[in-house]
Each structure stands twice: as structure tokens, then as C-alpha cells.
Amino acid sequence: MRVAMTQLDLLGEGAGEQAQDGAEDRVVSGARGVFARSFRVDASLLSARDVSSLADHLNEQGISQARFNLALNLVSMQRDLSATEHRALLMVVLASMLAQSMGSTYMPIDEDGGEYLKVTLGQLLPQPVPAGWEIDGLIDAFHTLRRERRAGQILGQPGEFKPLIEEGGRLYHQRMLLHEERLAEAIERMLMRPDRDYEGARVRAEFKDVIEAHPVTYEVDGVAHPIKPGAEQQLAALTALYAPLTLITGGPGTGKTTIVVTILRLAARLGLDLADVALAAPTGKAANRMAESIRGQLEGVHEPTDLDHRLLTDLPAPATLHRLLGYSPRTGTFRHNRNHRLSAKLVVVDEASMIDLFMMEALAQALGDDAQLVLLGDREQLPSVDTGAVLRDLLPEVPATDQPWRELAIDPMAAQPGKGRTARNAVRLTKSHRMREDDPSGSAILKVAQAVGNGFKGLPADKLPSEIKRVKEDVSLASWQGVELWTPPSRGGDTDEKPTADLKAFVAAWFKTHIGSERCKKLSSRKYTRQADGTFDEASQAALKELMAHYARARVLTLTRVFATGSESLNRQFHRAFGQFRGSKKAEAKEGAGDNQTRYVHYVGEPVMMLRNDYERDLFNGDQGVVVWVKDSNENSGKKPELYAVFERGERMVAYPAGELRDDLVHAYAMTVHKSQGSEFRHIAVVLPTQDMPLLTRELLYTGITRASKGVLLVGSEELLRVGSEREARRFSGVGGRLG
């Protein structure tokens, strides 16, 4: 029983449950000997040659040796089966693992006619399929085991404590089902709570005060212009004021930050104590950007009231969800949970599309019974890296606009009923303010993003949106405005193993246009003065901000870290280009194996990114900064300038010796699209792979394209762009179906 329970625990273990990268494999490897001693795999199930060849093939498909061993030993728990039945169980377990690793909470075995299982087994098995492993035979054997209930050691029904649970034609890992049910129950309890009770006349008066008497403004050529929330934004702010749960979704630039500031200003005027507000985001980078956006808008309030001043000075800073819930890396648990709730009465979370199943469940369980939760995100973006697609699951098919509070808006929307359990709790924003339609470049980006999001529907099979302009053979002829496609001339017969001359030409053109300015060289070369209290003097602070802003204007985005078209390879090329640009000596690769082989000594002035969370230093995976020389403000101290990694934190800079962070820093000229979520650049390039891969989806392309406001360069073949736009990421999740 003890071994069975250990296997059960491991099968449900997921990276989303705060396990460090690779922790699962380490645990499984450590337990492998226990399994091997406890169970003997019958030779009729797998011969030594079968084990070796199947394991090698599965590793190429994303199933590690540790997971393969776990599946093998799980199946060995089920006695008295034929070789075909054992093989069928093994392949179904492996298929369920693959589905989970791709972000699904379950694997469909009936609901799509069994097509998913058949296709997945075809992917997992080597070709040609070995004798005795025919897919149709394995599927028939598995369904027979289900029907006759002869796999009861590992396959159970809802309510049973077995490694795998079958529910309504879906196959769950037991812990996945548990977390999904808990989240749905927590959300359902939230939806059943009554709305806030405010006096309508007072809300209307405060709303007019926030929007008309003391509006947020932005400055153009020294002239302040008011920002008036549109009808959709007004409805969203009012929904957040009244409803226990509010879901706000919209594309880039649709005014989500404006809504957050409006909510905060309204709530404060209606009596909410600022200490009862919690602001959060999934990552440190997103939390910092949320803080900067909110501060920027609050600083622009016209004739701010005392409450507006208090919001600017006393509002709690946005935190990561891990920090908000009090995550302990040592124990892997949260301080705040169902037994120790958060005290906040209003919790606002940005970039909610990035939140995985486990984190959303932890947040929902930690909320007080009277707390209001506001989730903002873009449903079209990539879902979380880990399991689940929670925001997409929670959003209704059709949001309602007939809520009773709609009439309190300055510009009420027409009343329309919605469809779905959360229809009255959701608002969809459709108008982009970042990529304006009266700006040709922004308009082109917006229209291409929308076309990609729609899978190029309505376009002939051989046509791309007319807004995509083709760049001729020389990539240096790109205008870097709107959306352009450059297909490397020799891309046809290339592989993804090493950079080609065409890829090097792209790096050179990008570096010359977006990185290698004389001002960048000057800012990179100077020594920055750090004072005794750890802050930088005024001149150094301004210069550091300018250097960071220079790098923040443009970024290269990739699908993966690996291969010649991945971020690591491109960063190596940009690193060499920067060395030549600075006239520095050649950097040497760090000693080491694995990932360390891809990390290089940094040149002074280069952009860098954190690779892991560092809770002691308050640095997080994805945080971006620069490496510069830092000198002591006391010229008589005798200290020589040291190399520091500097990061921006709102209005201040934080700096740490680069040597202490070396193992956690990578170059940031290029990053994966996943890492770019929550960021905004003027110019981006999306480098497609040379060959098709499952990661190439419309969600990834949409997310990459919408990071830019002025220019997008797509690097790759027209065929792959079309394939990716037509492929929707398949992620199976049942949270939404459990509501109501």
C-alpha cells in the first residue's frame, strides 16, 4: 500500500504546485529503485530492447526517462493481464502524462470519439509500429479493461482514491481532478455570494467625480489631455465594485490599467481602507509593470484630491501571487490558505491568463468570505506555462451587459443578456487604445493580430492578411513599421541545428537598427555612482533609466530556448555582436554542463534577465536589467568599480554584484514568447523555427505580435506562419464545466 501511495502522489505531482524545475524527475529517480524492487516487469510486456527503443523515442516526444519508469511501474501494479492489456494500460498512462505536460488537466478518451487518444498514441509509438503494439488493438484492449473494471488497481471512478480517475469520458490524474474540483467549488461559492450594496446616487456622483472632475490625464507637447474610460471600461469598473468576482478580458491596449485605477479611486471614495487592497500578478515582471502603470496614471490625475494623494503614497505595492500568499520555497506551501485567509477585501490580479490551475486554486482558497476578486487578462494570449487554462475556462460564452449597475455608468452600454454561469461577472474589452486605428503601424498590428487570433478565417488558403508586407531578400531593407514578413532566401533546406548565414544577417540588421547606437555605447561604458544607502546619485539614476529604456524599446521573440532559432542561440550571436560593437575582448563560455554551456560572461552594458526566483533579493524569473560598472560615491574609499546587475523597481534602482547572480542571469536580447508575456515594446521580431513543431500555435503568434506597438518583423516561411495561425492550442480543462 505504501508503494502504491507513493506512486499515486508522484503521478499527481506537477511543476505548477510550486515544485522547482526538475524536482519531479529527481523524486521519481530516487524512488525508481523502490519500484523496481517491489515490482517485476513481465518480459511479455516489454523486452529489454523494447524498453530501450521505446524510452528513447518517448524522450524525443517529451516523456522523460523518469516518467517512463513511473508509468511502467504503475502498470505493473495491475496483475493478471495479458501482454496486450498491459501494453494498452502503459500507453494510456503515458498519453495522459503527455496531455498533462502540455497543460491539460485531463485527457479525453470518449468525448471526441476517441480521436485524441488515437492521435496521441500514434505520436508516442515509434514508426513503424512494432508488432503487438498496433494502435487499434491497444485502444480496444483499454476500453475492454474499462468496461469490465479489470484495471481497478490504478483506474478508478470519481470518489475513489486511485492514481487515474475516469469521469465522463475523461481521464484524470487523481490530484488534477482534486484541484480542479476544489477550484470550481471555491469559484461557485464566490458566485453565490450577494453583490455589494452601495447607494446608487452616491456611486454615480463619485463616478462622475473620478471621470469628469478629476480625470486621469496624459501629456502631449506640454498639454494635458483627459483619459475618459469608454463604455466597456466603465461597465468593468462598476462590475468590480459590486460583484464578488469580476473577469475582465481584452487585447493589448484595451485599457485594463485604466480600469484598475478607476476601481481603486472609486473604492477609496466609497470607504474602502487602502490597507484592505491587494494588487498582484503571476510574475515579478508583471507585478512591477502593474505598479509602474498604476503610478503613472495616479500621477496624471487632474487636481488630485486627498484620497488620490493617499492612493499614490499609501497603496500597497503589487506583489507576485507567490509573495501575496506567502509561499515558502523550503516547504513548498503557502502561509495563506483556507485555514489562514488573506485579510484583503479587494484583490486585483493582472495578467490572469498566465495563472495555472494550482495557483488559482491556492488564491481562491485563501480569499476571505467577504473578499472581492478582480481578474484581468487576455483570453487570446498563451495560457499558463503549467497546467490549466483557468481564465479561458472561467469566461462565459457571451458576457452580459444588463447588470443592474450598468445604469450608473456615465455612458451605459445597451442591455444585452449573456450566456454562461459567469456572464454577469465578465466584461470583454474590444477597443485597443495602444494600437490606434488612426495610426497606420498600430492599425496594421491590430488587424494582423485579430486575423491570427481568428485563425486566418475567411482568407484564401494561399493568402495572408494584406497588412503583412513582404521584405525582399535583404532583411536590412525592412522598414520596421507595421507588420512585415521576411523569409530567408535559403530557409527551404535548412535545419534548426545551427545558425545560417541568413539568420546571421537578421541578427546584424536588428543589432544595427535597434541596439548599436552611439548613445548606447556611451551609456554602456560609463561608471555609475552608488551611494552609501544603496541608491544611485541623480545623474546615474537618469542614465541607467535611459539605458534600460533603450533596450526596452525592441526585443526578439522566439518559440523555444533551444535550436538555432531559439533564444539561447540568438543571444549568443547578439552577445558576439555587442562585443565587436564595444571593441571588447572575446568572452569565454562558462565551464560546466547542461544549461551552463549556453551562458556566457557578460559584457559591460548588456541587457540581462533573471532565470529563477530569488526571494531573498526580491528578484524574479523574467526580471530584466543591465550589467554595468558601479563605483563608490566615496572617492576616498579606495574601492575599485565593480560589475553589478541593476534592475528597475518603480522609481528606484536595485543593484547586486553580477558575480553573485551569474548562474541566474542570461542575456535578454532575445527571449521566448512565454517570457515576454506582460511586456510591451515598440518593435519586436518573431523568429519562427525552420520546421513545424507543436508549440507553433495561433496563441503563441498572437501573444508575440501583440507585444509591439509600432513594428513587427516575422522571420520565417509564409507556410509556417499560416500553419501556426490555423493551429489552436489544444488544452483540455474542465473547470468551467463544473460551475453551476
Q: Where are the domains of the chain?
A: 48-172, 193-429
Residue for cell digits 483619459? Answer: 227
* pLDDT of 686: 96
Confidence of residue 437 (pLDDT cuts 50, 70, 90): low
Dihedral over alpha carbons 555, 561, 566, 572 (to 10 degrees)? 80
Considering only CA atoms, which of 375, 376, 372, 281 is closest in space to residue 321? 281
pLDDT of residue 183 exceeding 70, the answer is yes
Q: What is the pLDDT of residues 488-505, one digit of tens each?
A: 886 444 445 566 888 899
- Weakest-pLDDT range from 59-68, 307-316, 546-555, 681-690: 59-68
Tell me what the pLDDT averaged over the chain comes to: 85
- Weakest-pLDDT range from 26-35, 662-671, 716-725: 26-35
Considering only CA atoms, which of 85, 69, 205 is closest in space to residue 144? 85
State how far the Cα of 685 lies from the Cα of 692, in Å rounded to an integer. Answer: 18
What is the DSSP code string of 619-674?
A: B-TT-EEEEEEEEES-TTS-PPPEEEEEEEETTEEEEEEHHHHGGGEEE-SEEEHH
Can you give the pTM of this predicted structure? 0.81
* 115-122: long-range contacts, CB 8 A cutoff, minimum separation 24: 116/730, 117/92, 120/95, 121/91, 121/95
**116: Cβ contacts below 8 Å, ≥ 6 apart:** 107, 108, 109, 730
Confidence of residue 711 (pLDDT cuts 50, 70, 90): very high
Q: What is the pLDDT of residues 319-342, one digit of tens each?
A: 999 999 998 888 889 999 999 999
Q: Which amino acid is at 640?
A: K
* pLDDT of 47: 63
Helical (H) or strand (E) element with 179:
helix 174-191
Confidence of residue 486 (pLDDT cuts 50, 70, 90): very high
Confidence of residue 41 (pLDDT cuts 50, 70, 90): very low
Q: Give the distance from CA 574 to its chain's centroid.
A: 25
State how far the Cα of 693 lies from the Cα of 670, in Å rounded to an integer. Answer: 20
DSSP H helices in 61-132: 65-76, 83-101, 115-124
* pLDDT of 225: 84
* pLDDT of 438: 61
- Weakest-pLDDT range from 214-223, 409-418, 448-457: 214-223
Q: What is the pLDDT of residues 611-626, one digit of tens each?
A: 888 878 888 888 899 9
Q: Quote the cell numbers at residue 519.
A: 548613445
Task: Over range 594-600, report the average pLDDT.
Answer: 40
Percent over 70 (pLDDT), the chain: 88
DSSP SS3 for 6: helix
Task: Over range 217-221, report the average pLDDT.
Answer: 80
Within this chain, domains 48-172 and 193-429 share the same CATH topology:
no
Omega into 128 within 30° of 0, i.e. cis? yes
* pLDDT of 144: 95
Out of 159-168, 455-464, 588-597, the most confident range is 159-168
Q: Quote the cell numbers at residue 122.
A: 500514434
Residue 353 DSSP label: G
Task: Over range 700-710, report the average pLDDT.
Answer: 92
CATH topology of domain 48-172: Arc Repressor Mutant, subunit A (1.10.10)
* pLDDT of 49: 65
Task: Over range 358-365, report the average pLDDT.
Answer: 95
Q: Quote the cell numbers at residue 218.
A: 496624459
DSSP SS3 for 726: helix
Out of 415-429, 483-497, 587-601, the most confident range is 415-429
Q: What is the pLDDT of residues 526-573, one digit of tens each?
A: 999 998 888 899 999 999 999 999 999 999 999 988 888 999 999 999
Neighbours of 461 (CB within 10 A): 7
Cα–Cα distances (Å) from 159 to 75, 150, 175, 212, 575, in that order, read: 21, 18, 12, 56, 55
Characterise 605 by phi-psi region: left (phi > 0), alpha (psi -120 to 50), beta (else): left
Q: Quote the cell numbers at residue 31.
A: 524512488
Contact (Cβ atoms closer than 8 angstroms) between residue 259 and residue 240: yes
Given CATH 3.40.190.10, say whether it is the number of domain 193-429: no
Name the packing angle between helices 135-148 and 115-124 (round to 10°): 130
pLDDT of residue 457 exceeding 60, the answer is yes
* pLDDT of 284: 80
* pLDDT of 10: 40
Q: Which amino acid is at 675?
A: K
pLDDT of residue 250 exceeding 70, the answer is yes
* pLDDT of 5: 37
pLDDT of residue 224 exceeding 50, the answer is yes
* 5-10: long-range contacts, CB 8 A cutoff, minimum separation 24: 6/31, 6/34, 7/35, 7/70, 7/73, 7/74, 7/77, 7/163, 8/161, 8/162, 8/163, 8/174, 9/175, 10/70
* pLDDT of 35: 34
pLDDT of residue 26 exceeding 60, the answer is no
Angle formed at CA 233 by CA 230 and CA 356, multiple of 5 degrees: 150
Dihedral over alpha carbons 536, 537, 539, 541 (to 10 degrees)? 30
